Amino acid sequence: MFPLQRNRRLRTNEAIRSLVRETSVSPQDFMCPMFVTEGKGIKSEVPSMPGVYRQSLDGTVKEVKELWALGVKAVNLYAKVSEDLKDNTGKEAWNKDGLMQQTIKAIKDAVPEMIVMPDVALDPYSIYGHDGIIENGQVVNDPTVDALTKMSISHAEAGADFIAPSDMMDGRILAIRKGLEENGFHNVGIMSYSAKYASAFYGPFRDALDSAPKDSTVEIPKDKRTYQMDFANRTEAIKEAIHDVEEGADIVMVKPGLCYLDVVREVKNAVNVPVAVYQVSGEYAMIKAASEKGWIDHDAVLLEQLTAIKRAGASIISTYFAKYAAKLLQQ
Ligand code: PBG
């Protein structure tokens, strides 16, 4: 009751504010998504993501070293393979000498302690740009899960620390966990993209990998709404996360970030594993574009968003700003 309680006392100066601050963000909260491409000496900027590059192995390894030095302890890898390697089965995804497998090995050789989490989904390998195999105009669940399991085992063989399935097929966590166990990869973890919404915020990512659902002569679903979640739903996210934990997920993820912080908090309260949040490509692009125009303060908005994601319940944030934010926080 006023004046016994004056809430502003705890806001008087930065010293007291910092003493009572409930949430802090640090480089070890971050994972950095990286786009790898074939070739040598290649570094091409993603047009809709200024400051984010598709890089060949050499540049990727160099950047991983920089990230490690800045205190960033995990990378999420996405491969951009050439069109001629794509088909409907996605079989290039489990080529033991494939781009992703080579990248995992190279990173683990160069920075053995870095936690390497390759993305598992078929879209970068699919001629149709879908996360699964197409039969009769549909993305078929169980044959896709078999493919994802092969893909995961090949990533583990290459040295991945965590498998990160982003495909949203049913039962894939159980199948991948079993596949890993049967092949002796007991300590390879799974970070499941559990509550992944069918979101318009993935646009710049699909530009980066050229992985958007394509126009095709055969009938294919025009979007990903038969597997990614309806953004109107909340309880469904909890169901997905609980199922994934039951199936063996070590970490569950909510994606995208900012529009889904209510979901993050609910999932956090519902499961007893760490929750990760992916601040996705469209979220990155919005901060870049608005700040380029001078309409928002880039660094202030960035720190506010990262803090809000943690406050909502994230233990880990996957962010294209990882390197930049790590530097910013050191100042
Ligand atoms: C594909 C995948 C996507 C993202 C991560 N993995 C795109 C999609 O589902 O179409 C998006 C990430 C981002 O936008 O930053 N399985």
DSSP string covering 239-308: HHHHHHHHHT-SEEEEESSGGGHHHHHHHHHH-SS-EEEEE-HHHHHHHHHHHHTTSS-HHHHHHHHHHH
**pLDDT, tens digit, for every residue of 172-214?**
999 999 999 999 999 999 999 999 999 999 999 998 888 888 7
- Annotated binding residues: 240
Indicate whether 17 belongs to any domain: no
The answer to whether residue 102 is domain-embedded is yes
pLDDT value at position 281?
98
Contact 279, 76 (CB under 8 A): no
Residue 308 Cα to ligand 1 midpoint, Å, equals 22
The active-site residue out of 86, 196, 268, 288 is 196
Ligand 1 pocket, Cβ-based, cut-off 6 angstroms? 119, 121, 123, 131, 166-167, 202, 205-206, 224, 280-281
Q: Kindly state the helix (H) or strand (E) to which residue 51 belongs, with its residue range.
A: strand 49-55
Which residue out of 280, 318, 319 has the highest number of ligand 1 atoms within 8 Å of its CB and is therefore the one to mutate?
280
Residue 8 included in any domain = no
Task: Look at 166-170, 292-296, 327-331 and tell me which has the smallest mean pLDDT.
Answer: 327-331
Q: Which amino acid is at 263?
A: V
pTM reported for the whole predicted model: 0.97
Query: Residue 255 belongs to what domain range?
Result: 24-330
Out of 255, 268, 310, 323, the active site residue is: 255
If DSSP codes are grouped into helix, strand and coil, which group holds residue 211? Answer: coil
Residues 54-71 have a mean pLDDT of: 98
| Domain annotation covers residue 98 | yes
Domain with residue 273: its CATH number is 3.20.20.70
Mean pLDDT of the chain: 97
Give the Cα separation of 44 and 322 in Å (integer).
19
Residue 63 has pLDDT above 80, yes or no: yes
Task: For residue 150, indicate whether it is catalytic.
Answer: no
Say if CB 229 and CB 236 are below 8 A apart: yes
Question: Does position 302 have pLDDT exceeding 90, yes or no?
Answer: yes
Q: Is residue 7 part of a domain?
A: no
Per the annotation, the verdict on 196 as an active-site residue is yes
Residue 35 lies in a domain: yes
Domains: count for the chain? 1
Going 167 to 169 to 170 to 173, the CA torsion angle's sign is negative
User: Would you mind telling me the total number of residues written for the chain in this entry?
Assistant: 331
Question: Is there a domain that residue 1 lies in?
Answer: no
Burial of 305 (0-12, 13-18, 19+ CB in 10 A): buried
Helix/strand/coil for 131? coil
Binding-site positions for Mg(2+): 240
Residue 296 banded pLDDT, cuts 50, 70, 90: very high
Residue nearest (by alpha carbon) to ligand 1 atom 5: 166
Q: How many angstroms separate the alpha carbon of residue 32 from the centre of ligand 1?
A: 14
Q: To which residue do tokens 């991948």 refer?
A: 176
